[in-house]
Structure 1
Amino acid sequence: MPRWLIPLLLLLAGALFPLALAPFFWWPLGLVSLAVLMAALQHNHTPRQAFVYTWLFSFAKFAVGVSWIYVSIHRFGGTPAPLAVLMVALFAGFLAIFPALVFALRQHLFGQTLAWLTLPVFWFLYEWLRGNFLTGFPWLFAGDAHLHSWLAGWAPIIGSYGISVLLVLSVTLLLEVWQRRCYALLAGLLVWPAGALLQPLEWTHITGSLNVSAVQGNIPQNLKWRPEMMDPTIGIYYDQTSQHWDSDLILWPETAVTKLLDQFRPAMNEIAAEALEHNTTVITGIAYRYPRGHELAGEFHNSIVAFGAGAGIYHKQQLVPFGEFVPFEQQIRGLIPFFDLEMSSFRHGPADQPLLKAAKGADTFLVAPFICYEIAYPQLVSRMAQQADFLVTVSNDAWFGDSLGPKQHMALAQMRALETGRWLLRATNTGITALVDHKGRLLERLPYEQRGTLSGSAEMRHGSTPYMQLGVWPLAIFSLLILGLAGWRRRRSQSFTEL
């Protein structure tokens, strides 16, 4: 193959990768995409070559997969289109550095020794690093493409990280069989039918049920934060809510109320009294400001508050860079309008916050809340779900229009429900508002960009899936064993060469 053709194939393969994910779920294309990258990495000879190959693939993957960021930068951030395109390209190029460095390190340490095993291990290390470094960006994981395939049966056991490993291992096994005719390795592909056999298993048990509703206000993003819209917005959500007092829990979206909590409290107390009469818990996203006299007076949180028959407040832990806080704020504030978006100076919430409470008669259920981007974090959701009966997530994906972003976001919420064996209710401003069962199946959803309320009956569940109990430790131990074996094989090979 001509050398100039390899970069083009890698760019094409990377661009195909997002088609394996939501909303398409053409996961066979993901196998083809990964096969091109893995084949290239198995035939490179230097760390520099591994870096370049991986960077090209990953740049195309992120340029297509996170292209939805353009909508928020240009349409709502006021950035000129050419500059917005450049910013998306720079972001994709920056994200591509992570896998490029990881696979360059693999080449430096192990060369092609046991490449069919070390490549899946380093893919796991790369996804874990990207999901945790600084604030993390746990998006476009390979395993998330398999919400509906046989491999989905592994999600409650090893999570989406583990499915990524099985996926890449399947590809490298096939390449190894093709190149070396080691047909015994095909036994490794039994993980696919094994996943199908695992799907019917119930890892959690029912503790009760709640009639739930989620309100989709559909407030245009360019009007949402105007002062004259504050009271009308509350009126919209109250009117929708008052039609569903037969629900045990009613969920409003992220920052559904554009007043601060202390400003909203008089109206909230009135709604809470009415909700309590109907034994209903209302949960809404709202901004919280520390009061005067507090050491953090004037500082803000992006929060969720429960009132009526339930109670509790939660402050968002994982904030979106540039959306909810601005890194290097003093240096870049004011450079372009995008760095001065409304409500982009939030504080991180603490990790040890109590769960929200929802009531049904004499029973009280614990609700694990997640705000927007947080639902993408497998380990955060797994930890908070340990004591929870139910998951709720609120978002305002209107920032991204009807692009790939909201669909990918919804699928991530479904994967978290599958990993934890919990039902999940999602409320958004413009969509996707939905109810998801403990198998990750989307049961009900509202049409995009329409005002309405979704209602249904949700199971409350308790118990822990293996993934909730063990997290990524099995993958970490597997990785250490493979790396130890590969290191031993490489040293042994070098010793024979010296002789």
Structure 2
Amino acid sequence: MAAAGAVTVFAYAPVRAFALMWLGLAVLFVFAGKAESGKRAAWQGYAWGLGYFCANIYWIFISLHTFGGMPAWMAAGCVFLLAMYLALFPALGAWLGYKLGGNSWRRMAISLPAAFMLSEWLRGWLFTGFPWATVGTSQIPMTPLAGYAPIIGVYGVGLILALSVGGLAAFARKPAAWAGVLAVWLAGFGLSYVAWTQPVGKPVSVSLAQGAIPQDEKWAQAHYLDNLRIYLHLTREAKGDIVILPETAIPSFLSDTPDWYLDYLRAAVEPRALVTGVPLSGPHKEEYYNSVMLLTAPDMPLYSKHHLVPFGEFVPVPALFGWMYHYLNMPLDGFTPGAAKQAPFKIGPTTRLAPNICYEDVYGREIINALPQATLLVNVSNLAWFDGSWAAWQQTQMSQARALETGRWMLRATNTGMTAIIDEKGQLIKVLPERQRAVLEGTAQNYTGETPYARWGDWAALASGGLLLLLAWLSGRKDKARAGKAIV
């Protein structure tokens, strides 16, 4: 079971062998659906989840050990402990699906897929959530199921995928099952051609800078001036009307950054717009923010990161986990969260740019907070913490999902990769190679309007999953009632 979960890592970018997710889910649903007890089904789900998460979050080891300085054995242990926690969610889904399904075919076809999706949503919400590697994301943008993303989001895509796999696992010999699945997938293909949002204004030229500064140099005082020069040089090279620098491109608090450097940055682009990542200190002691600023506007509007990274940007339950920081060298590990809703940057007559920072783009329900005002999305990140892994590819695929859900172009400006331009259909338009110091030049189209997902969020998917579980449970009760009457 663990191998069936682990192999799904190849369903995501960069490999994108999306059919492996079908196989992994089929193994889970068959074994859990035919288990002899709910407890046994839960263990099947737990083993599957342990393999799934060990394979999909292995890159955390790099940040803890290679760049954080934690001993290898301890870093590996922390990653495994996190995987053990995350595996509880597919275990819960398997147990609940088994208990409510009644018989094996109903479990595989209805209750296990629905319970699995609900457990995924719970994983993405509980204790601030960790929705990395949701199964629906693995199908975006390559399969017809991507057409459902603007309506019901990635959790809805995952539900339809799980129902398709579970239905075929339960009724593989029945042509009607294959015909039903084919019809649903063809409908998704048709939906991919629906224009949920509308372009506004002319395309705007954009420049996305990628400094390729190694993580062990980014915060080193000896490299501070060199790092400033790198992004100043890239800014001077940029040709776009909107120039975007990545997360903490300025590696010091704005109040500690030399005024002459900020003046040079402005002079390099004016009268165009410059957006840059920079940490800000607040009015109170130990209050500071991971922020993005429109440096060329007179009032310098800013966006401060709302959804902070546990253990990276804040310490959850310090009494329980504070010991870890004796073994870690983590700069700026005590950020303050920004507001949940923040106004997009007004640039020119049509562009309303909504920033998000680092892994905030894995939270679809939060990205839609900027709509419908925002016409363009931008993610600024520093993924040098995970260099040498697939983390940047995986996160880019999640950005593609956010573009589809919102019907907006997504720009990604990163320190080491993947810097990219993504259109409103989730397609990669242009990408810079990882660890290459360069400026990605291109154009982006502003969009207006709202997709159904932007209006409903995850509620449509949650309601669908809950209703399916209820129907499976009621159907199982009817079967028991009939069986009791037959005995009498």
Pairwise TM-score range, normalised by the shorter structure: over 0.9
Residue 93 of structure 1, CA deviation: 1.0
| Cross-structure match for 2:286 | 298
Q: Could you give the per-residue CA deviations for residues 207-228 of structure 1, whole angstroms, max 9, x where no partner exists?
A: 1221100111111111111123
| Residue in structure 1 matched with residue 441 of structure 2 by the alignment | 455
Task: Please give the alpha-carbon distance, in whole angstroms, between the structure 1 residues aligned to 2:20 and 2:278.
Answer: 40
State yes or no: 1:72 paired with 2:63: yes
> Paired residue for 2:281?
289
Say if 1:106 and 1:122, in contact at 8 Å, map to a contact too: yes
1:126-153 CA-partner distances (Å, limit 9, x unpaired): 1110111111111111111111112111
Work out the CA distance in 2 between the residues paired with 1:67 and 1:91: 10
Helix, strand or coil at the partner of 1:89:
helix
Moved more, 14-23 or 100-109: 100-109
Compute the displacement of 1:337 (Å): 4.7
Distance 1:331 1:469, change over 3 A: closer
Pick closer, same or farther for the CA change 1:339–1:157 going to 2, 3 Å: same
Are the aligned partners of 1:275 and 1:309 in contact in 2 as well (CA < 8 Å)? no
State the alpha-carbon separation in 2 of the partners of residues 49 and 42 from structure 1: 10
Q: How far has the Cα of 1:482 moved from its partner?
A: 1.9
Q: Distance in 2 between matches of 1:188 and 1:337?
A: 53
* Aligned counterpart, 2:461: 475
Does 2:384 match 1:395? no
1:352 to 322, 337, 341: 341
Does structure 1 residue 121 correspond to structure 2 residue 109? no
Whole-angstrom distance in 2 between the partners of 1:85 and 1:462: 45
The residue identity in structure 1 corresponding to 2:276 is T
Whichever residue aligns with residue 37 of structure 1, its letter is L
Q: What secondary structure does 1:326 align onto?
A: coil
Do residues 487 (structure 1) and 473 (structure 2) align? yes
Q: Deviations over 1:373-394 (max 9, x none)?
A: 1001111112223210101001
| Residue range with higher mean Cα deviation, 403-412 or 475-484 | 475-484
Alignment of 1:67-466 (within 5 A): 67-112=58-103, 114-115=106-107, 116-147=109-140, 148-178=142-172, 181=174, 183=176, 186-208=179-201, 209-244=203-238, 246-264=239-257, 266-267=259-260, 269-271=262-264, 273-274=266-267, 278-291=270-283, 296-309=284-297, 311-335=300-324, 337-359=326-348, 363-466=349-452
Displacement, 1:265?
6.5
- The percent identity for this pair of structures is 37
Q: Distance in 2 between matches of 1:210 and 1:319?
A: 30
| 8 Å contact from structure 2 (residues 44, 94) kept in 1 | no
| TM-score when normalising by structure 2 | 0.94
Mapping of residues 22-41 of structure 1, within 5 Å: 22-41=13-32
Distance in 1 between residues matched to 2:185 and 2:440, nearest whole Å = 35
Q: Is the 8 A contact 1:288 1:300 kept in 2?
A: yes
Would the aligned equivalents of 1:45 and 1:111 in 2 still touch at CA under 8 Å? no
Check whether the contact 1:333–1:339 (CA below 8 A) recurs between aligned residues.
no
In the alignment, is the contact (CA less than 8 A) between 2:276 and 2:293 conserved in 1?
yes
Match of 1:46 in 2: 37
Q: After superposition, what is the alpha-carbon deviation per residue over 1:338-396, rounded to whole angstroms, capped at 9, x for unaligned?
A: 5451111111111122222222xxx1521111101100111111222321010100111
Aligned residues of 1:250 and 1:282 also touching (Cα < 8 A):
yes
1:402 to 1:184, Cα distance in 2 relative to 1, 3 A:
closer
> Which letter maps to 1:379?
R
Instruction: Write the distance in 1 (CA, Å) between the matches of 2:402 and 2:438.
Output: 25
Query: What is the Cα deviation at residue 414 of structure 1?
Result: 1.2
Three-state SS of the structure 2 residue aligned to 1:124 is helix
- Aligned partners of 1:182, 1:482: CA distance in 2, in Å? 22
Task: Provide the residue aligned with 1:21 in structure 2.
Answer: 12
Provide closer, same or farther for how the CA distance between residues 178 and 328 of structure 1 changes in structure 2, counting only shifts above 3 A: same
**Distance across 2 between alignment mates of 1:337 and 1:437:** 43
Bigger drift between 108-117 and 227-236 goes to 108-117
Cα distance change of structure 1 residues 273 and 65 upon mapping to structure 2, 3 Å threshold: closer
Q: Which amino acid aligns with 2:60?
A: I
Q: Which moved more, 1:452-461 or 1:325-334?
A: 325-334
